Structure 1
């Protein structure tokens, strides 16, 4: 039987709903490309990033700069609707690195505010520039008959799955102010 390591991502601020507005398009733009590093601080593997397209900026300015459109990392329970609540995330990984599990806990998730208008929760989707990671292992907790919490599990069965998940979490953590804490 493999021994599991325990890791977690947590918000340094106890606010469950960040004050920033998120775009439903999932796109962010910047007039300049800033690449600090192409190495993940979690696994040390090189990321292959597409070459940015160069665009001549016209108008009163004669500056040339790169414009890159990147998909902002988001979590969704209903496809097309970004979850506004930042979760607490617990990770376990076998010592041999062959498998692991991430457990996401959302207190008072915003999906409960919109489920009547948009439909039912269809799964757990983690979306970033590399694509979509998904799971159907989603459980809602009710208090006094009202939905209060969602817990979602994502299972990683190979080292490659683990590395892909950690790249998503690095991007999501940077965008939402989560910190990695090894326990």
Structure 2
């Protein structure tokens, strides 16, 4: 049996392509934050948002199973000559528990390896 390719979904069955991810930690509270950036959303391009079920959560799926995250914010950034071209989508969420952070990082490592991404620590 082969392990499934890690995927990220806003809508069930529609895998999105992550362009960038930023990891942060609040100095006062210690709460970790994640900012996922998508340059395009397949769900929007194919109008699947009207045909597929959305739970309002971001689903991260890999060999260990599924992580369901409730974003604290999703921003659509537009640009171009007319200001109507989707430039990127930014999805924010926080992870408070250490065991959840460790599970998220295992997912991100699998996702990065499967999609030719690498970690860069910018201090």
TM-score, length-scaled by structure 2: 0.77
CA contact (8 A) 1:98 1:159 kept: no
Structure whose CA Rg is larger: 1
Aligned counterparts of 1:123 and 1:140: Cα–Cα separation in 2: 16
- Check whether the contact 2:24–2:34 (CA below 8 A) recurs between aligned residues: yes
Separation of aligned partners in 2, 1:132 and 1:73: 10
Shift in alpha-carbon separation, 1:102–1:117, aligned structure 2, 3 A: closer
What do you get for the CA RMSD once the two structures are aligned?
A: 2.4
Detail structure 1 runs of 4+ shifted over 6 Å in the superposition.
Answer: none
Number of residues paired by the alignment?
114
Alignment gaps of 5+ in structure 1:
1-67
3-state secondary structure, aligned to 1:150: strand
Q: Contact 2:9 / 2:59 at 8 angstroms: preserved in 1? A: yes
Q: Please give the TM-score of this superposition, normalised by the length of structure 1.
A: 0.54
Alignment check: 8 A CA contact 2:43 2:49 kept: no
Which runs of 5 or more structure 2 residues have no equivalent in the other structure?
Answer: none
Structure-1 residue corresponding to 2:70: 135
Q: Alpha carbons of 1:78 and 1:159: their partners in 2 closer, same or farther (altered >3 Å)?
A: same
